[in-house]
Amino acid sequence: MRKKLISKTYLKDVNKYELNIYFDKEDYFLSVKKFIDVEKPFILESGLCLIDNGYYIVEVIPKKENYAMRVYFNEKKKRIEYYFDISLENGLDEESNIPYYNDLYLDITINREGEIKVLDEDELLDALNKKEITKEEFNLANKTKELLLDSIKNESNKYMKLDLEKYLD
């Protein structure tokens, strides 16, 4: 399991960025990263660029859910991908006062066309077999995956409905 501070994630090949964190939300933390100087754009095998100059990542860390949501925006402030990390817990790091999530390996993505993919099920099983996670944590990850998929498919996920664009400068 990996503890991920939102101030330190998804910065490979990024030389300069702005980070704003909003602590005032009742049931979630929100952060916005704006990429100013990217050495090398991050492009998926499909050809979709997720990180480049002028792009944004908005991360929503629910306080009482077992996942974190990341939304990628292009330089025109258009949503280009959703990425959900299934987590054991989310919270505020006592030492740094930065929101974090404990990543449970399993991920879900939704591309611009609405295609939903579950990723890293093999990593989750591998972590269980190596005793890096317990059977209970394995079951929690799979249960959360199913609940999250349901909320995505029936369009009831409240975090996906947030007006995130208003946080982009």
55: helix, coil or strand? coil
Number of structural domains in the chain: 1
Task: State which H helix or E strand residue 113 sits in.
Answer: none
Q: 57 has which bridge partners?
A: 33, 72
Give Cβ neighbours of residue 150 (< 8 Å, ≥ 6 apart): 156
Read off the pTM. Answer: 0.94
Residue 141 sits in a domain of what CATH number?
2.40.380.10
DSSP letter (8 states) at residue 66: S
DSSP letter (8 states) at residue 160: T
DSSP string, 36-64: EEESS-EE-TTS-EEE-TT-EEEEEEESS
Per-residue pLDDT of the chain in tens (169 residues, 90 and over written 9): 789 999 888 888 999 999 999 998 899 999 999 999 999 999 998 889 999 999 999 999 999 999 999 999 999 999 999 999 999 999 999 999 999 999 999 999 999 889 999 999 999 999 999 999 999 999 999 999 999 999 999 999 999 999 999 999 8
| Total count of residues recorded for the chain | 169
Residue 63 to residue 168: CA distance in whole angstroms = 22
Range of the domain at 57: 2-167
Asked if 102 and 109 count as a contact pair (C-beta separation under 8 A), the reply is no
pLDDT at 24: 85
